[in-house]
Amino acid sequence: MVPVALTIAGSDPSGGAGIQADLKTFQVHRVYGEAVISLHTVQNTRGVTHVEDVRPDLIAAQLESLFADVPPHAIKTGALGSVESVRRIAACLAPHGRPLVVDPILRASSGAAFSREDLVRAYLEHLLPLAHLLTPNTVEAEALTGLVVRDPDGALRAAEALRALGARNVLVKGGHLPGEPVDLLLCESGASELLHGARVDTPHTHGTGCTYAAAIAARLSRGEDLISAVRRSKAWLARVIAQPLGLGQGRGPLNHFVSPELG
């Protein structure tokens, strides 16, 4: 059986993040990729200058069409844009029970806002209860919980709060913290694990969060267990970041040509 993964996310015309990064990640993991665009952006490696949402009814129609014909084995969400989009997406996904990786993109890495407080509430109310894995960075974890995340202990407290709000498993990404990047994975069993990494001195990190979550979703679609999928995705991402393409005049894209280790 060919593994199939679906991404529901924004479009990045520069190809470094969003739908484009997700599909590249699925492909290199030998997973058939499907995509539903939730918003369009005007951006390049120097930043985002415009965002325009896709109509929620059009998003829902695309999802219904996919599930009726080529249903995915795992799903990943990225930037979703509007409150109504979040509601409609959740309503479409809920009946199918596929592993869902929710990357709660509330702000682009350039600082361009994709959301308002009502969008944060929509995530908490509609998507967290469906999330097999929630993958906030520390800034997003703070926005979702109201807690301060400045170290692994803070990440654990935020992850526990997010699990209490409905997410089955939570991965708090520590790339924004000082020092070496340490991620915190809290599983539904209550067990937690610190995932250590080495910081790479490069400006070419555009799309890191999208790529990380997409790699996990790809591995889940292949039948890997969650802990293995997270560990191996992080290891692959480190190699991807360490071999930059050097494209663009700002925060350049990752090197999605790097082959992952697949079982």
Q: What distance in Å separates the CA atoms of residue 116 and residue 16, rounded to the nearest whole number?
A: 24
Q: Is residue 50 part of a domain?
A: yes
Q: Is residue 253 part of a domain?
A: no
Structural domain that includes position 210? 4-242
pLDDT of residue 192: 96
* 76 belongs to the catalytic site: no
pLDDT of residue 110: 44
Q: Is residue 131 part of a domain?
A: yes
Q: Is residue 80 part of a domain?
A: yes
Q: Is residue 254 part of a domain?
A: no
Q: Which residues contact 10 (CB under 8 A, 6 or more apart)?
A: 17, 18, 19, 37, 38, 39, 40, 41, 51, 78, 79, 80, 81, 105, 114
Q: Which CATH number belongs to the domain containing residue 49 in this structure? A: 3.40.1190.20
* 211 belongs to the catalytic site: no
Sheet with 4-11: strands ordered across: 47-53, 32-44, 4-11, 74-77, 100-102, 133-134, 170-172, 182-186, 192-196
| Residue 100: strand pairing partners | 75
* 49 belongs to the catalytic site: no
Between the alpha carbon of residue 56 and those of residues 5, 8, 109, 129, 163, the distances in Å are: 21, 12, 25, 20, 27
Q: Judge contact between 193 and 185, C-beta under 8 A.
A: yes
Of the candidates 16, 41, 210, 252, the residue annotated as catalytic is 210
pLDDT of residue 115: 52
Of the candidates 208, 211, 234, 252, the residue annotated as catalytic is 208
Of the candidates 25, 77, 135, 205, the residue annotated as catalytic is 205
CA dihedral 190, 235, 213, 243 (to 10 degrees): 160
Q: Is residue 258 part of a domain?
A: no
Q: Is residue 87 part of a domain?
A: yes
* Domain count along the chain: 1
Tokens 């249903």: give the residue: 71
Of the candidates 209, 211, 234, 252, the residue annotated as catalytic is 209
> How is the chain split among helix, strand and coil, in percent rounded to 5?
40, 20, 40
Strand ranges inside 13-87, DSSP E: 32-44, 47-53, 74-77
Whether this prediction's pTM lies above 0.75 is answered by: yes
Q: Is residue 252 part of a domain?
A: no
* 207 belongs to the catalytic site: yes
One digit per residue, the tens of pLDDT, for the chain of length 263 reads 899 999 999 999 999 999 999 999 999 999 999 999 999 999 999 999 999 999 999 999 999 999 999 999 999 999 998 899 999 999 999 999 999 999 998 754 444 554 568 889 999 999 999 999 999 999 999 999 999 999 999 999 999 999 999 999 999 999 888 888 899 999 999 999 999 988 888 999 999 999 999 999 999 999 999 999 999 999 999 999 999 999 999 999 999 999 999 97
Residue 3: both structure tokens together: 């593994």
